[in-house]
Structure formats: structure tokens, C-alpha cells
Amino acid sequence: MSNPTITFIGAGNMAAALIGGLIADGADPHTIIATDPDEQRRQTLSGNAGIRTLADNAKAVMQADIVVLAVKPQILEAVTRELGDAIQTRRPLVVSIAAGIRSDTLQRWLGGDVALVRSMPNTPAMLQVGATALFATAGVTEEQREQAESVMRAVGLTLWLEDESLMDAVIALSGSGPAYFFLVIEAMEAAGIQLGLPAEAARLLTLQTALGAARMAIESSDDPAELRRKVTSPGGTTEQAIGQFEKDGLRESFLRALTAARDRSMEISRQLDHSED
């Protein structure tokens, strides 16, 4: 299927990012449909991206080869139950980007036996530099896996998981991860100011250092530990700082933080999976 029709149920920020990424990759805007109850949002997206928009979710699904569920997890049950008949009739590939909603729950809401891929992008996807993990259920063909990957690859790196239970760890690591780096940037900037730097200088130096370190980690053949060793001279300033981080238990703090995020993800999944057939 060279030019599948892709329907986005929901036209929020992540859907808009995916649509923009797909078009930038060469997708025909006329093969993309987005739905949203907000008429102004539909008009804005249609005007900016040149795609088709509809208010009727079921009608949009009936034209789709791929359906991307891009609504908030809290309303996903109501939306998917209303779409069940259309999904069962049309039989598209369904890709969910809703955090915390497990595939068996989605299958139940959609009527079962659906070709379903669960994905977890993160917010840098809005700049086409995201990281997305994907999990395919048993009914997904190899061609459909490639289709799902092509959709999510439009906004950054993609990685397949063979065990869905690992999605909670992904949410803790990359899903919530941008906020951890923002916190580090915030803390470094504040420390620079306390050491006497002007606020603007502290901010710019911190941001450029973060960008440079990330690029070095991505582009180097060395792992982060080796990169750290290469910039840590014995008896120097970096060694003093790293030693203080280690003394303060930075690694253990990250482990505790990510474990707490993972556990909260599991708890939210249980709370969202409250419905009965």
C-alpha cells in the first residue's frame, strides 16, 4: 500500500506534529484526514497543512487505511467505543499514542481482533526530534508494522518493543525524560547565577552546553561513560564536580525517580482500565 489514507482521531499538538512530519517526508496532504470537535482547530489545521478535516470520527475512519488515536487517555474509552463498529467494518491498522492505555484494553473497547500498534512518543516529537517506542499486537502484519513505523518516524527515532510490559519503563525514561533534562538545565542555570554569572549568560551557556553534549553523545562512537572520562582530567575541575555528584548519590537518585515514574505509569494504567464488558 504505497499511499495509505491516514486518519487522526484528535487534532491536538502531537497529531499536528505527526501530520507536519509526514508532509515534510513527502506524504500527500490529501491522504491525511484529521477529526476534532473544535471547528476552529479543524480550520486552522486544514489551512496550515492542506489536509482534509471532519467532525465525524466514524466517517473519517471509514475512509482510512491507518487510524491514529490521538485523543487524551481520559476520553479514549468513550471515543473508541463509539468507533468500534466503523473499525470492525473498515479493518484499518490502528495506532494509539495514548499513554497508559494497554493494548488488551484498547482491543476490548474497539470490539476485538484489531490490528493494533501501541506507541509512546515524547514531546520533542513536536520538533521532529522525538523518541517513540512501539509495540505491535499479534494481528499486525509486517507491512502494517512498517506503516506504523513510517508514521512515527516522521517525528524522530522509533524503537520496537517485543514485551508490552516494558512500555511503563519507556514512559518513565523517554516519555517523562524531557522534564528531567529541563530540571537539570534549570539547576545548572541557577547555580551559575549563584556563582556570579549574569542570568542571561548563565542561561545561554547552559543551553548551548546541553545541546553540545547531546550532539556529542549522539554522533560519537564512544558511550557516555567514555565521553565523560575523556573530559575529566585527573585532579581537575570536572573531576571535582563529578566526585560531588557521585558522593550525593546522583545515580541512585535517578534510579529512584524513574522507578517512581514507572510505578505511577502502572498505577495510571490500572485506573484507566476500569471498564467492564
- pLDDT of 259 reads 98
CB-CB contact of 79 with 56 (8 Å)? no
CB-CB contact of 151 with 27 (8 Å)? no
Residue 3 pLDDT grade (very low, low, confident, very high; cuts 50, 70, 90): confident
6-170 against 175-267: fold identical: no
Set of cell numbers at residue 232: 575529566
Angle, vertex CA 250, rays to CA 248 and CA 251, nearest 5? 135
pTM: 0.90
Which carries the bigger pLDDT value, residue 117 or residue 12?
117
The predicted model gives 138-146 an average pLDDT of 95
Give the position of cell 466503523: 86
Residue 48 pLDDT grade (very low, low, confident, very high; cuts 50, 70, 90): confident
Per the CATH hierarchy, to which homologous superfamily does domain 6-170 belong? NAD(P)-binding Rossmann-like Domain (3.40.50.720)
The predicted model gives 127-147 an average pLDDT of 96
- Per residue in 102-132, pLDDT (tens digit) is 999 999 999 999 999 999 999 999 999 999 9
Domain chopping of the chain, boundaries: 6-170, 175-267
- Per residue in 162-190, pLDDT (tens digit) is 999 999 999 999 999 999 999 999 999 99
CB-CB contact of 94 with 106 (8 Å)? yes
Q: Which CATH architecture has domain 175-267?
A: Orthogonal Bundle (1.10)
For residues 198, 200, 205 and 211, what is the CA-based torsion angle, rounded to 10 degrees? 160
Residue 271 has pLDDT above 90, yes or no: no
Residue 2 has pLDDT above 90, yes or no: no
Q: What angle, rounded to 10 degrees, do the helices at 73-90 and 250-272 form?
A: 60
- Per residue in 221-268, pLDDT (tens digit) is 999 999 999 999 999 999 999 999 999 999 999 999 999 999 999 998
- Per residue in 190-230, pLDDT (tens digit) is 999 999 999 999 999 999 999 999 999 999 999 999 999 99
- pLDDT of 274 reads 65
Closest among 160, 68, 161 to 116, alpha carbons compared: 68
SS3 assignment for the chain: CCCCCEEEECCCHHHHHHHHHHHHCCCCHHHEEEECCCHHHHHHHHHHHCCEEECCHHHHHCCCCEEEECCCHHHHHHHHHHHHHHHHHHCCEEEECCCCCCHHHHHHHHCCCCCEEEEECCHHHHHCCEEEEEEECCCCCHHHHHHHHHHHHCCEEEEECCCHHHHHHHHHHHHCHHHHHHHHHHHHHHHHHHCCCCHHHHHHHHHHHHHHHHHHHHHCCCCHHHHHHHCCCCCCHHHHHHHHHHHCCHHHHHHHHHHHHHHHHHHHHHHHCCCCC
Residue 277 pLDDT grade (very low, low, confident, very high; cuts 50, 70, 90): very low
The predicted model gives 46-66 an average pLDDT of 94
Residue 273 has pLDDT above 90, yes or no: no
Taking the alpha carbons at both ends of the chain, their separation in whole angstroms is 34
- pLDDT of 276 reads 47
CB-CB contact of 183 with 176 (8 Å)? no
